[in-house]
Amino acid sequence: MALQGVAVEGVHKKNLGKQMKTGILTFHRAHNYGAVLQCYALQEILKRRGHEVHVIDYRQPWIEEFYKFLSWRILRMKASSVSGLVDYVKSDLKKFIVSPHRKSFFEDFRSTYLNVTSPCGKIDLPQDFDCYVIGSDQLWSLHCLGGETDDVYMGDFPHMEGSRVIGYAISADLKSVEEISDRLPEWRKNFDALSMREKEIAGKVAGLSGSPCDVCLDPTLLTDPEIWDPVIDDRWASRKYVLVYEVRWKKDTRGLLKKKAEELAAQIGEDCEVIVLSGMRYPVKDFVSLFKYARHVVTTSFHGIVFSILFETPFHALPLWGGYDLRYKELLQSLGAEDRLVDFDDVLKPEQMDFTEIHRRLGERQKASLEFISKNIG
């Protein structure tokens, strides 16, 4: 159980505004563009505010298991159906044999751009931080953790008396929040302040826990383009292309996004190509660069939309196979950009976008998120 220290409020306030040793706990070891980039963004934002920032190299058991080749634990889960088992084996063969460089793409980015501590588990998590920032990412989504919660991401770990535990822009799906509802009041006590990334989820958490829960932006949306300069590769600047970034596809929808991109490319010009962005082929630096220099983006990804907005690249967001993702649907609605939500039957046009109103509304939300950071982290 976390060392709560009820009488540490004065210590907390004394530390605010001073340089603090701050540790980030998130999915930094996931082989996922959004996971490592939101971690980098939060690290850089806190560094700009004068903090000594470290990414705590917590080896989350499920995440570590997930990226093993043919994990027996995952095989047992998939063995409930023959098709599920076959799909898992095919997927792993593709990840580890067809694209052996995938793991190195993310390891290279972490070692170059993240200030990572020594590896640790829950029992040897470093206890010498003034502030622990848990977030962002889907840390409370049970499907990301093998159907279970992780005490570390619920703020339940030993730390020195007087240190702060802050939940920043944690994300979850409604089903997960409902499944952990019985323990939410207890877990909420581990946090000095808590914020969720989605408004609907924050309201649900506040209602179930009986304690305040703010709404804060994903760290990538707090950044300016200059933060990404160190990871930009200008070799893409001379290419003319429509970018496709698809997540959570099914066999019957595979290729539909590329088809829409090809229609756009044909309208832009004969020399316009289509680039399908995949973690199997492109390093993390290319992910950021491809969004910056694209003529147009077609995506089903939350972070695909985020980087399109950051670099003012025209984009369209299409539904996942289960419908529009709450994460990007809510974001676009809050920015007055619902018109970017389209369907596969719609005819897409490569028109220029006016980002003025989007950035105005984004600025208001950035202000609120930065106020949360100032008040609770410093």
Could you tell me which residues are beta bridge partners of residue 299? 245, 317
Q: Which two tokens stand for residue 210?
A: 């009986």
Using only the alpha carbons of the chain, give its radius of gyration.
Answer: 21
Could you tell me which residues are beta bridge partners of residue 214? 195
pLDDT in tens, 227-264: 999 999 999 999 999 999 988 665 656 688 899 999 99
Q: Where does 230-347 sit in CATH, by number?
A: 3.40.50
Report how far residue 265's alpha carbon sits from residue 262's, in angstroms, rounded to the nearest whole number: 5
**Residue ranges covered by each domain of the chain:** 6-79+92-223+366-376, 230-347
Whose CA is closest to 91, among 104, 105, 78, 81? 78
Q: Where does 6-79+92-223+366-376 sit in CATH, by number?
A: 3.40.50.2000
Q: Which two tokens stand for residue 285?
A: 């630096």
Report how far residue 361's alpha carbon sits from residue 221's, in angstroms, rounded to the nearest whole number: 12
State if pTM tops 0.95: no
Report how far residue 71's alpha carbon sits from residue 348's, in angstroms, rounded to the nearest whole number: 42
How would you class 162 by CB atoms within 10 Å of its CB: exposed for 0-12, middle for 13-18, buried for 19 or more? middle
Report how far residue 30's alpha carbon sits from residue 77's, in angstroms, rounded to the nearest whole number: 20
Positive or negative torsion for Cα 70, 75, 79, 84: negative
At 270 the three-state DSSP class reads coil
Token pair 């967001």 in the structure block, residue: 317
Does this chain's domain 6-79+92-223+366-376 share its CATH topology with 230-347? yes
Please give the chain's pLDDT, 378 residues, in tens.
343 332 223 334 445 556 789 999 999 999 899 999 999 999 999 999 999 999 999 999 998 887 775 444 544 555 455 555 555 455 555 555 545 677 889 999 999 999 999 999 999 999 999 999 999 999 999 999 989 999 999 999 999 999 999 999 999 999 999 999 999 999 999 999 999 999 999 999 999 999 999 999 999 999 999 999 999 999 999 999 999 998 866 565 668 889 999 999 999 998 999 999 986 789 999 999 999 999 999 999 999 999 999 999 999 999 876 677 778 899 999 999 999 999 888 999 988 899 999 999 999 999 999 999 999 998
